[in-house]
């Protein structure tokens, strides 16, 4: 039986929130899983739009790539593309906060006062992009989110799955110090895929190529059930 072809919107990589022209807030995301998902989705015959934060990775051929830097830019690009997609796989590690004020010039050490040279940085929350997409979805659209946790992996993932109105969530556990960089980079990862029906499929030291295949199979199954 021929696999149905869907339009998948995939986000990948980190966002960068500027402090001044040379500094920014970000995270350790490399974009590896998001790019692996995009590459495999094309091989499986799907049409792919990849919205990516800054990474060192080469985009796979046969996709539409949209480059962004900040969470605000990612939200704008996603809002523009989401209406034409069948599914959103929110693989990007979007920065939760951004500076309230961004200096137009490099902040100098000489501008920091006090004996301890204390410099305060005020932050404000970024938009919750995946929750916003879920509020405006069409009945047939599927949304998969991600949760990186340092504790209470399944409990925190279930709470996020429900609060953001997702169809499924990929929960990954941060590796203990000295045990690899997982889930960052190419290292295998520990975690689980949970869906809103209550199913939980755990995995241990799973290569990201196999995790991407499991995520896509989950998305395809959810989409097929809504046809």
Q: Is the dihedral of CA 29, 210, 78, 196 positive or negative?
A: negative
What are residue 193's DSSP bridge partners?
Answer: 170, 201
Tokens of 143: 């949304």
Q: Are 32 and 186 in contact (CB under 8 A)?
A: yes
Active site residue 27: yes
Q: Are 124 and 100 in contact (CB under 8 A)?
A: yes
Tally of CA atoms within 13 A in the half-sphere of 152 that contains its CB: 6
Closest alpha carbon to 185 in 25, 13, 10, 70: 13
Choosing from 27, 126, 156, 165, which is the catalytic residue? 27
Quote the CA–CA distance of 216 and 15 in Å, as a whole number: 24
Tokens of 102: 């961004």
Active site residues: 27
């Amino acid at each position: 039986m021929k696999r149905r072809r869907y339009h998948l919107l995939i986000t990948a990589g980190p966002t960068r929130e500027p402090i001044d022209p040379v500094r920014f807030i970000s995270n350790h995301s490399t974009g590896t899983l998001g790019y692996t998902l995009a590459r495999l989705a094309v091989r499986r015959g799907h049409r792919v739009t990849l919205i990516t934060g800054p990474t060192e990775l080469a985009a796979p051929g046969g996709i539409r790539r949209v480059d962004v830097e900040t969470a605000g830019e990612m939200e704008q690009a996603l809002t523009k593309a989401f209406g034409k997609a069948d599914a959103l796989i929110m693989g990007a590690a979007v920065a939760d906060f951004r500076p309230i004020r961004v200096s137009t010039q490099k902040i100098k050490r000489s501008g920091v006062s006090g004996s301890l040279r204390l410099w305060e940085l005020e932050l404000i929350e970024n938009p919750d992009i995946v929750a916003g997409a879920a509020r405006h979805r069409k009945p047939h659209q599927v949304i998969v989110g991600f949760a990186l946790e340092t504790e209470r992996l399944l409990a925190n993932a279930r709470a996020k799955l429900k609060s953001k109105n997702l169809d499924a969530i990929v929960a990954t556990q941060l590796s203990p110090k000295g045990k690899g960089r997982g889930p960052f980079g190419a290292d295998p990862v520990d975690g689980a895929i949970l869906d809103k029906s209550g199913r939980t499929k755990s995995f241990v030291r799973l290569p990201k190529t196999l995790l991407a295949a499991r995520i896509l199979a989950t998305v395809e199954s959810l989409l097929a059930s809504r046809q």
